[in-house]
């Protein structure tokens, strides 16, 4: 994605950062971010959302744990597993805690770590089990480093959505970047490199051959101006009024007027 942005949108300044879902929301509503990729469902988020995908969560252990032979595993069985999970309020931990409540069990969390790499290291070494999205352990599975099992009763999944502030109108630069994001995610799913199911908004986008962009025109770009638009200090930020363009559309494909004084620097945060 970053390579495409650098090649196709050379005048766009793009920043990609990771953070907790709660912090991302605060920064989004504070005007510091243009868009975030975060956990759904979209109906639970007080934002304008574009539903991306839903993917399965797996129990992950060492190659000697032989989890695959027992798949699927009832979530109640997880109570007997020493777990390494993210700390609260990490989104993955929230999913695991909710499933435990539904199954009527208490999770045996031996260690907390907030990065996928550490979680996987513990699983590979046999020091514990973890729960991760299927895509995050594809390489380890191919190399025979881990064994995984689907979970049932309840089945664990996570939703990812693209969120932006309510009532916001995307600049041309923002629309161009988010179009690339959607295209790249759609390609990963279609080619099987991301084992996930597209949700309604992304399915509609993937089926639209025009991808909401004129096929014979060069993608519009804008040069980045100023820095982060800090909450409560909007007047001091460098700003620019965007020229009107028929290429700019709302989510229903209707032309809209560009947002006055919107920052041209694209700030997309992902969890």
pLDDT range class, residue 265, cuts 50, 70, 90: very low
Residue 260's pLDDT band (boundaries 50, 70, 90)?
Answer: very low
On whether the CB atoms of residues 198 and 192 are closer than 8 A, the answer is no
Angle between helices 172-190 and 200-207 (to 10 degrees): 90
Residue span(s) of the chain under CATH 3.40.190.290 come to 55-158
Question: Residue 47 and residue 52: Cα distance in Å, rounded?
Answer: 15
**Numbers of helices and strands, H then E, in the chain:** 8, 11
Residue-wise pLDDT for 161-185, tens only, equals 999 998 888 889 999 999 999 999 9
Predicted local distance difference test score (pLDDT) of residue 243: 31
| Mean pLDDT for all residues in the chain | 79
- C-alpha dihedral (19, 24, 27, 29), degrees to nearest 10: 180
Q: What is the DSSP letter of 245?
A: -
- Looking at the whole model, is its pTM more than 0.75? no
Tokens at 50, concatenated: 């574009």
How confident is residue 221, by pLDDT bands cut at 50, 70 and 90? very low
The CATH class of 55-158 is alpha beta
Nearest alpha-carbon partner for 269 in 20, 92, 11, 81: 20
């Amino acid at each position: 994605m970053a390579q495409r942005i650098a090649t196709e949108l050379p005048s766009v300044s793009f920043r990609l950062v990771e953070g907790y879902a709660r912090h991302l929301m605060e920064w989004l509503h504070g005007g510091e971010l243009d868009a975030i990729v975060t956990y759904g469902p979209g109906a639970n988020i007080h934002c304008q959302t574009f539903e991306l995908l839903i993917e399965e969560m797996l129990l992950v252990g060492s190659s000697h744990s032989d989890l695959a032979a027992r798949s699927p595993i009832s979530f109640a069985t997880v109570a007997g597993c020493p777990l390494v999970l993210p700390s609260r309020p990490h989104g993955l931990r929230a999913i695991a805690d909710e499933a435990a409540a539904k199954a009527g069990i208490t999770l045996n969390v031996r260690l907390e770590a907030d990065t996928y790499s550490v979680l996987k290291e513990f699983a590979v070494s046999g020091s514990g089990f973890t729960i991760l999205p299927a895509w995050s352990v594809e390489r380890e599975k191919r190399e025979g480093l881990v064994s995984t099992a689907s979970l049932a009763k309840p089945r664990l999944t996570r939703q990812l959505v693209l969120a932006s502030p309510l009532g916001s109108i995307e600049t041309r630069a923002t629309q161009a970047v988010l179009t690339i994001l959607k295209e790249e995610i759609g390609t990963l799913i279609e080619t099987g490199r991301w084992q996930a199911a597209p949700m309604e908004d992304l399915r509609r986008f993937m089926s639209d051959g025009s991808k909401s962009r004129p096929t014979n025109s060069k993608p519009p770009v804008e040069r980045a101006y100023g820095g982060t638009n800090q909450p409560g200090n909007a007047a001091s930020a460098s700003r620019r009024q965007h020229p009107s363009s028929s290429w700019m559309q709302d989510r229903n494909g209707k032309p809209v007027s560009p947002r006055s004084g919107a920052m041209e620097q694209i700030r997309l945060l992902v969890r």
